[in-house]
Structure 1
Amino acid sequence: MCYRLDSGKNDTDTVVITWKFQMLDQNGDDILDKMEYKDLRKVAKKAVKPKRCAKNFPRSCDVDGDQLISLQEWAECLTRDGMDGRC
């Protein structure tokens, strides 16, 4: 599977972002649903402070609010600089 992500990310970022997305996408439908990112949310709760940011991590990635995270949403979420006030 090969994805093309928008500019602003170097090749290493693209490889890592795509690899992790594919690891989480258990059913291979190119979308992360709540069950697929549930464990990631648990890890984020332990690592991210304040806890409300970790709790809201999936919601902040889900730009269109459909409770599904596409690769594009995933990539944008992970490369966001944190200055947009989402948390």
Structure 2
Amino acid sequence: MYLEQTKTILGDVLNLGPAAAALTADSPLLGSLPELDSMAVVTLIGALEEHFGIVVDDDDISASTFATLGSLAHFVEQKAG
């Protein structure tokens, strides 16, 4: 559930279009998606907070959170749980 919803939000925020459908849990994000710059990370976090009803503190976020789609989805699941 979290993986698919996170993928949808990521695709929407980054305007990936059909390319978003090809993303898997192992798909690398930071450094691999040119659309995922610092401003996009801020926008993405806001969208995830709104969609899942979570609060993400600056201290919660690290590069490993955005390493792959799976790591990001896992992070969201931990925050929502």
* Fold shared, TM-score > 0.5 on shorter chain: no
Q: Going by fraction, where is strand more abundant, 1 or 2?
A: 1
TM-score between the two structures when normalised by the length of structure 1: 0.42
Which structure has the greater CA radius of gyration?
1
Q: Going by fraction, where is helix more abundant, 1 or 2?
A: 2
Bigger RCO of structures 1 and 2 (CA < 8 A, at least 6 apart): 2
